[in-house]
Amino acid sequence: MHIPFCPQHCPYCAFAVLTGHRHLYERYVDAVCRELQMWAPAQLGPFHTVYIGGGTPSLLTPGQLAQILTTAASVGGIAAGAEVTLEANPTTIEASKFADIRRAGFNRLSLGVQSFSDTDLKLLGRFHDASECDEAYRRARCAGFDNVSIDLMFSVPGAPQTHWQRTLERALGLAPEHISTYSLTIEEGTRFAKRHREGDLNPVSEAEDEWCYAWTMERLERAGYEQYEVSNFARQGYRSRHNWGYWTSVPYVGVGMSAHAYVDGRRQWNVSQIETYLSLVETNHRPCAGTEFLQGWEKREEELWLQLRTCDGVQLDDRECRALERADKFAAMRRNGWLCLDRQRLTLTRQGRMLADAIGLEIAALIETHVG
């Protein structure tokens, strides 16, 4: 479920978010619940995971969040032991709601910390500071959350490597169950992109970015975290079950402005304008902006590059294995130590994860050329 409201639009963010619009919160929650009810019961639940992201969904009241969960439970059912996650910013105001959010039925919290450097947080346009991150984490634990994830961002323009090292060490000192680390990329349409075009912002070099990622993988593994996906690390038993579903083609329902769904091989996505979304749902129309049906090679191609991002890799069939083993490019990638093929299961090495997207596309192209 996508909640688009945010206290600010961060300069690096290219997501569909809205600042202000507090007067629309209640109306939007009603619309999200109404959209959930539009799905045929056969296409729903019981839900094994629920993920409310954004935006900043913790801006909503605990009562509004409970309303969404109650609706999900009534239309599809929420399975016993389901993972129910809420994204939140580590500000004092939001942290004050954590106990009520836990009572509303959420059992996993994802904190958008991004950095423990106040200098970097200011550049990133964040409203919180490092001390608030510590306090928010403490409040999450006091509220009864025993499954907490922290989002962090490396390769911040102009920040020395020591900032990232201190950030990760401070996160490890808190001992969350899950850590997501992302390299900051300059996306089109963002304020960072505008500053970059004007020569006012220089991204870190490729070499610096690679160093940060390589050090991150080594440090988190040494601390006992499993890298189960390119950007995600977890203590044993605490992988994000929701995100794991995305990478392994588990069907999911998506509701809210710009949300995506994938059911019965069909992907669909909602409109990304708030008033259009609200007016469609309020007049009992599905807010769908487009659909695509994945089948055949198109479906397999997506499976290849998504599953290759995970620690389990992707299981190949006989024809796919033969196609790769005949390709000089594949042999070169093996010599470079980027991937491993063992009993028809293809996985990336630690070095290969640094090039995951490029390798995934290349593997798909080689298989299509020699099999298709």
Kindly tell me if the per-residue pLDDT of 42 is higher than 70: no
Does residue 307 lie in a domain region?
no
What's the total number of domains in the chain? 2
Does residue 316 lie in a domain region?
yes
Q: Give percent of the chain above pLDDT 90.
A: 78
Domain boundary among 195, 227, 247: 247
pLDDT, average across residues 293-320: 93
User: What is the SS3 assignment for 55?
Assistant: coil
234 in Cβ contact with 226 (< 8 Å): yes
CA 101 to CA 69: how far, in whole Å? Answer: 11
Does residue 304 lie in a domain region?
no
Tens digits of per-residue pLDDT, 244-264?
999 999 999 999 999 999 998
- Residues 225 and 120 grouped into a single domain: yes
CA 157 to CA 205: how far, in whole Å? Answer: 9
Q: Is the pTM of this model over 0.85?
A: yes
Tell the burial category of 199 from Cβ atoms under 10 Å away from its Cβ (0-12, 13-18, 19+). Answer: exposed
Q: Which residue has the tokens 């056969």?
A: 42
DSSP states along 60-126: S-HHHHHHHHHHHHHHT-EEEEEEEEEEE---HHHHTTHHHHHHTT--EEEEEEE-S-HHHHHHTT-
Q: Quick one: pLDDT at residue 372? A: 58
- Residues 203 and 316 grouped into a single domain: no
Does residue 169 lie in a domain region?
yes
Tens digits of per-residue pLDDT, 107-128?
999 999 999 999 999 988 888 9
Q: Quick one: pLDDT at residue 191? A: 82
- Residues 188 and 112 grouped into a single domain: yes
- Residues 241 and 351 grouped into a single domain: no
Q: Quick one: pLDDT at residue 194? A: 87
Among 178-182, 196-200, 279-283, the minimum mean pLDDT is found in: 196-200
- Residues 334 and 204 grouped into a single domain: no
Does residue 15 lie in a domain region?
yes
Domain boundary among 247, 270, 293: 247
Kindly tell me if the per-residue pLDDT of 272 is higher than 80: yes
Tokens of 345: 């299961």
List beta partners, residue 86.
Answer: 52, 109
Tokens of 158: 């102009």
- Residues 11 and 153 grouped into a single domain: yes
Kindly tell me if the per-residue pLDDT of 159 is higher than 70: yes
Q: Quick one: pLDDT at residue 43? A: 64
pLDDT, average across residues 354-372: 88
Q: What is the CATH number of the domain that holds 13?
A: 3.20.20.70
Domain boundary among 232, 247, 262: 247
pLDDT, average across residues 16-32: 92
Taking Cα atoms as reference points, which of 328, 254, 310 lies closest to residue 3? 254
25 in Cβ contact with 59 (< 8 Å): yes
Domain that holds residue 332: 312-371
Does residue 362 lie in a domain region?
yes
Q: Quick one: pLDDT at residue 19? A: 87
Q: Quick one: pLDDT at residue 41? A: 64
At 71, the pLDDT band (50, 70, 90 cuts) reads very high
Sign of torsion, CA 6 94 247 263? negative
Does residue 281 lie in a domain region?
no
Which H or E element spans position 133?
helix 130-142
- Residues 61 and 204 grouped into a single domain: yes
Q: Which residue has the tokens 């189960």?
A: 228
At 188, the pLDDT band (50, 70, 90 cuts) reads confident
At 176, the pLDDT band (50, 70, 90 cuts) reads very high
- Residues 66 and 200 grouped into a single domain: yes
Interior angle at CA 102, CA 152 and CA 37, nearest 5: 95
Does residue 92 lie in a domain region?
yes
Tell the burial category of 343 from Cβ atoms under 10 Å away from its Cβ (0-12, 13-18, 19+). Answer: exposed
- Residues 57 and 153 grouped into a single domain: yes
Residues whose CB is less than 8 angstroms from the CB of residue 225 and which lie 6 or more positions away in sequence, other chains included? 179, 233, 234, 235
140 in Cβ contact with 179 (< 8 Å): no
Q: Return the amino acid letter for 356.
A: A
- Residues 79 and 170 grouped into a single domain: yes
